[in-house]
Structure 1
Amino acid sequence: MKLVTIYGSPTPPGKLARALELLETGVRERHPGWEVERIAPASTITPVVATWRDDVVEKVSGADAVVISSPVFRGSITGTLKLLIDMLPVEALRSKPVAILTVAAAPHHFLSAERHLRDVLSWFGALTAPNSAFFVDRVFAADTVDDEVRHELHELADQVVVLAERLSGRSFGPDPLTVRYRKKTSG
C-alpha cells in the first residue's frame, strides 16, 4: 500500500519538512509493506508561491492514504498548497483517508489551517482522520525531537494507515455536493 505525504510549503525544507520526515520514517518502521512518497513543490516563484510537477495529480490519485502538511500562513494554509488542491479532481481524494499536519510559530494558530483543510477535504468527500496534529515550530528546531512529539506523529500516521487497510476499495456516500451538482446539471 502507498502513503503520499504532501509538503505544502513554498519555502525550502525546514521545520515542517523535519516533522514529515519523522512521520514518514515512523510509517516505514512501523508498517512493513507500506511505500511512502513525499510530494513537494517543484520550484519556488516567490517566498509565498511555488509550482507543482505535472505528475502530482497522478501520485495523489494513486495513493491509498495521504498526509497533507502545511505551515500556518496568515491564519490558513499556504497559497502553494491551495494551488495543488485546485489541481486535484474530486476522485483523487474521494473516500481516501487523509490526515492533517500543521506547524505554526505560535500556539494560538492551532485550529486555523486545520479548519480550512477540513472544509476543503469534505468538498472532495475525503475520509479526513478524526484527529490532526499541530505543533509549534520550535519543537523541530532542536537537534533532538521530544519522544512525545514523535509519538503524536506516529499516531497521526497510524490513523490513515489503519483506515486505508481496513477500508481498502470501499467508497462512502452520499456523494459530495460537487458530484451531486455535476450529475444534476449533466443529466
Structure 2
Amino acid sequence: MKIVGISGSIVGSKTKTAMDYLTKEIAEKYPEAEYSLIDLANYNVQFSDGRNYLDYEGDTAFVTKEIMEADAIMIGTPIFQASIPATLKNIFDLLPVNAFRDKVVSILVTAGSSKHYLVAEQQLKPILSYMKAQIVQTYVFIEEKDFLRKKIVNDDVLFRITRLVEDTVFLTETYTKIRQEKEDKYDF
C-alpha cells in the first residue's frame, strides 16, 4: 500500500508539525506501508496551465506523479482567510478530474480559530468528492491552542491523529479488497 502525505502550505510550521506526528504514527504502526510526505514548501511547483499532469517536468511532475500513484492520500492543510491555501488548490488543479478515483483521502486541518472548522466540510470535501475520492469522513481539526513550541500538547489531538491513520489504512485495505473481488469475477 502506497500512502502519500501532503503538507499543503509553503509557510508556517503547524501543519508540518502535525504531519510529522502523522508520519511517525504510520512508521510505527504500519511499517509495511510505503509512505512519503510531500511538504510543498520543499518543492517548486508550477501553477496549473491546463496541461496534462504528465506533460509537466521537475518538481511539478514529481509531486503529481507521486499523488497519482498513491493508494491513499493524507492531506494536511492550514486554513488561511477562511480557505485552503492556494498551493494546495493548485495541486488539485494540476491533476485530472478523476485523479482520486479508487483512492482513500483523509484530512488533517490546522487553524488559528475554532471558527474555521467548517472549511474542510464546505471547501475541501466537495473538491475531493468531485475528483472521485473515497473520503475518510472524520478529519482531524487542530487549533492554535493545541500547539506549544512546535509540539502538539493536546492528548486528544494525538489520539485523533492515531485514529485518522488507522481509519485511512483500514479503508484503503477494505476498498482494495472489494475492487479485487469485483475484478476477479471477470474471466479475462
TM tier, smaller:
0.7 to 0.9
Q: Could you say what secondary structure the match of 1:103 adopts?
A: strand
Identity of aligned residues (%): 32
| Distance across 1 between alignment mates of 2:110 and 2:64 | 24
* 2:167 pairs with one of 152, 159, 164: 159
Length-normalised TM-score, structure 1: 0.80
Q: Quote the residue 1:10 is aligned against.
A: 10
Q: What do the CA deviations read for 1:77-118 (whole angstroms, capped 9, x no partner)? A: 001101001011134311211001111111111112442111
Note the residue ranges of structure 1 that are not aligned, 5 or more in a row. Answer: 46-51, 172-187
CA contact (8 A) 1:91 1:124 kept: yes
Q: How many residues are matched?
A: 165
CA contact (8 A) 1:15 1:141 kept: no
| Distance across 2 between alignment mates of 1:153 and 1:104 | 15
Name the Cα RMSD after superposition.
2.2
CA contact (8 A) 2:140 2:157 kept: no
Shift in CA distance, 145/158, structure 1 to aligned 2, threshold 3 Å: same
Q: Quote the residue 1:122 is aligned against.
A: 129
| Distance across 2 between alignment mates of 1:125 and 1:139 | 32
**1:1-187 maps to which residues of 2 (within 5 A)?**
1-11=1-11, 14-41=13-40, 42-43=43-44, 53-142=60-149, 143=151, 145-168=153-176, 170=178
Note the residue ranges of structure 2 that are not aligned, 5 or more in a row. Answer: 47-58, 180-188
Shift in CA distance, 92/169, structure 1 to aligned 2, threshold 3 Å: farther
Shift in CA distance, 63/125, structure 1 to aligned 2, threshold 3 Å: same
| Distance across 1 between alignment mates of 2:7 and 2:16 | 7
Q: CA deviation at 1:71?
A: 0.5
Q: CA deviation at 1:127?
A: 0.2
| Distance across 2 between alignment mates of 1:139 and 1:121 | 27
Q: Could you say what secondary structure the match of 1:122 adopts?
A: helix
Amino acid aligned to 1:158: E
Q: CA deviation at 1:2?
A: 1.5
CA contact (8 A) 1:68 1:100 kept: yes
CA contact (8 A) 1:102 1:114 kept: no
CA contact (8 A) 1:100 1:114 kept: no
Amino acid aligned to 1:69: G
